[in-house]
Amino acid sequence: MGTRGLPLLRTGHLLREGTIIFPRVKFIFGIAAALVLAACGGAEKRKVAVRQTPKAPQVLPLRSIRPILQSVDVPKPDAVDKLIEQAEDLYSAGLDEYRAGNLDKAKEKFDQALSVILESKFNVDEQNRLRAEFDKLVEDIHSVELTSLERGDALALHHYVPAPIESFAGLTFPVDPNVKQQVQQEVKTVRSDLPLVSNDLVAGVINYFQSQQRGQQFVRKILERSGIYQPVITEALRKEGMPQDLIYLAGAESAFNPFALSRAGAKGVWQFMLGTGLLYGLKKDRWVDEREDPVKSTSAAVRHLKNLYQMFGDWYLAMAAYDTGAINVQRAIEKTGYADFWMLRKLHALPRETENYVPIILAAALIAKDPKAYGFDLSPAPPLATDRVAIGAPTDLRLVAQLIDHPVEELIQLNPSLLRWTTPANNAQFVLNLPPGTRETYEKAIASIPEDKRIWWRAHKVEEGETLPSLARKYRISRVALAESNHLDTNSPILAGARLVIPMAPKSEATLARVRERGPRRAFRYRIRPGDTLELIADRFDVTPYQIRRWNNLKTSRLVAGKTLRLYAASNVGYSPRGAHRRASRRPVQAGKKASPPEPPPSKTGATAGTPGPVAAR
C-alpha cells in the first residue's frame, strides 16, 4: 500500500503529512484494543466517563523556509546577440514584403539587415558569430533574388540618384555685386531663344554655382552630360518649333541622368511623375518604365511644355507649371491678379521650391552659353551612339553582355527604361540598344540559342587550359549537351578565347551561382574610378556589394575615386574599362550652409506587386 491517498492532518496552522501505518503495527493495536474492551465489560454501567475538554493546540512559530529552487543567473544577451536578432528581424520583414509582392520594400529591408551589421561598431571579420550571420544573410538574400529573377522580377538593377535640383529648393542665394555686373554684361551679348534676364535672383544662383562645391559639381555634371543627349533633345524641340534652350530645364531637373529619382517619385531626365507620364504616352508596367527612356521621355516633355506655353503664353510661367502643376500656377494668378512669374514669386504665391526653380534654370542656361566666362572649362561627353536590334523573345541582359563581351552595366546604362534583367516578355518588337559596333556579333551569336532558352542559357569565354569536360563539370551540365549546343564533338578541343554557349536548364540559375561561389577565388586590388558604385563593381567581379563592404570594412556605400578596394573573385573574372513633381518644401537656408538632409529616395526596382515564387525557408 503506497502513500498516495493518505489524508493530511491539519493541526492549528501547521500542515504535516499523515502517519503511514503498516499492516503489522495495525495488528498489535487491534489486540490491545480488544483487551481493553474486555476489561471494561465488568465495570459498573452507571459509571459515566468524564469527557475532557481538549486543550487548544499550541501555535508554533512558522520557520522561514529556504526556497528549494535557487535563483539562477541567466546570461543576458550581449551586443552581438542583439545585433544578430535585429538583422534577423529585418530579414524576416523583407521576406514578408517579398511574399506580399512588395519588391521595393523587400529590397529595402534586406539592405537594412546587412547594413545593420556592416555599420555596427564591430569588425565583422573579427567576430565569428557576426561573420557567420552575415554570410548566411548574403546567401539567403541572394537566393531570394535568384527566385525573383526566375520570375522575371528584379530586386536590384538600377542605381538611382537623388534629383539634384531638390538640394537647392530651400536655399537663399546672396548676391555678389561683381557677379551681378558680369551677368548683366553677359545677358546683353548672349544669344538665346528664351527670354534670359539678369536680376538679383539669377545672379545669386550663379554666384552659388561658382563659389560652392555642391553648386560647382552640379554645373559640371550638366555641362559634361549635356553632350550625351543634346542631339536627341534639340531635334525633338526643333520638330515642335520650341526654344532650343529648354534643354537646360532637363539639365536643371536631373543633370541629364535617366536614373535621377525625386523624393516624390518623379523619374528620368525630365523628371516625370507617373500620372503625367501616362497622359503623354509613357508606358509603365512590370517590364519597362518609359519615363526613364531619354528618347521617349524627351518627346513627351516637349509636348507637355508646348501645351503649358499655349495655356499661359509665357515661358517662365510654363516652366513654373512644369514644376508645380498648371493648376497651382493658375490659382496663383487668380489670387494675385498677376500673370508674371517674378511678381508671383515676390508675393510668395507659388510653392517655395518653385520660387527657385526658374532662376536655377536661367542660371544654368547662362553658364552653359559661355562656361569659361564663369570659370568652367570642360568638354561635353560625346553624343550617345548605339546599335539598335529588335529582340524577338525575352532575353537576359547578362547573356547579351556575355555574347558581345561588354559589361552588363553598360547595357543597363544604354537601356535605362528596363526594370528587369530580361527584355519584356509582352513586347515582341522591343528594341534593345547595344554598344556601337556590336550588332553583328550579337546577331550571329544569339542565332545559336533557341528563343525559349534565352532567359536561362549563358555564354562562356574559354580560358587557357579549359576543356569541354572541365566546363561541363564546372556548370554541372552534361558534356554531350555542352558539345551539341556548340556544334562540337564531345572530344573536340577548344581554343582559348572561343565563346561557348552554356545550356543551363530552366530554373538552374541558382546552381550556376553556387558553382561560382564554390569555385577558386583570388585576391584583386581595384582602384575606384569616378562614377563607380558598389553595385557596378560587384557586377564586374561577380560578387555582392555587401561582400565588398565587408572585405573593406566599409560602414557605408559611399566610394572615393582613387582609393583601392580589396576584392576576392573567381580567377576567371575580369572587368572591362568600358562603362564607366515634386520636391518637398524645405525651410530656406543661407546659400553655402547645409539645409536639413533630404530623405533618401525610394529604393529602385520599380517592381509591381505580384505573387512571388517560392522562397527557401530559413
Taking residues 196-220, what's their average pLDDT?
Answer: 93
Total residue length of the chain:
618
Judge contact between 512 and 399, C-beta under 8 A: no
Least confident of 25-29, 105-109, 218-222, 429-433: 25-29
Q: pTM for the full model?
A: 0.61
Q: Which of 444, 456, 459, 323 is nearest to 394 (CA)?
A: 456
Residues 522 and 542: their CA atoms lie apart, in Å, by 13
Phi, psi (deg, nearest 5) at residue 234: -65, -35
Q: How many CA atoms lie within 13 A of 19 on its CB side?
A: 5
Judge contact between 282 and 216, C-beta under 8 A: no
54 pLDDT higher than 50: no
Predicted local confidence at residue 40, as pLDDT: 45
Q: What is residue 171's three-state secondary structure? A: strand
Task: Identify which has the larger pLDDT, 374 or 46.
Answer: 374
Predicted local confidence at residue 533, as pLDDT: 76
Q: What is residue 566's three-state secondary structure? A: strand
* Cell numbers at 578, concatenated: 568600358
Q: What is residue 10's three-state secondary structure? A: strand
Residue 125 DSSP class:
G
State pLDDT tens for residues 101-122. Answer: 677 778 888 888 888 888 888 8
Residues 558 and 593: their CA atoms lie apart, in Å, by 22
* Cell numbers at 36, concatenated: 481493553
590 CB-near residues (< 8 Å, 6+ apart): 171, 172, 174
503 CB-near residues (< 8 Å, 6+ apart): 453, 457, 477, 481, 482, 485
Predicted local confidence at residue 574, as pLDDT: 41
Residue 72 DSSP class:
-
Q: Show the domains of the chain with their CATH numbers.
A: 79-150 (1.20.58), 161-374 (1.10.530.10)
Residues 430 and 388: their CA atoms lie apart, in Å, by 10
538 pLDDT higher than 90: no
State pLDDT tens for residues 7-36. Answer: 333 333 333 333 344 444 444 444 444 444
β-bridge pairing 161-162 and 260-261: parallel
Residues 615 and 151: their CA atoms lie apart, in Å, by 12
Share of the chain above pLDDT 70, in %: 73
For 125-159, b/e burial (b = at least 16 CB within 10 A) is eebeebbebbeebbebbbbbbbbbbbebbbbbbbe
pLDDT band per the 50, 70, 90 thresholds, residue 460: very high
State pLDDT tens for residues 539-593. Answer: 667 677 778 887 888 877 788 888 999 887 765 444 433 233 443 333 333 333 3
Predicted local confidence at residue 16, as pLDDT: 36
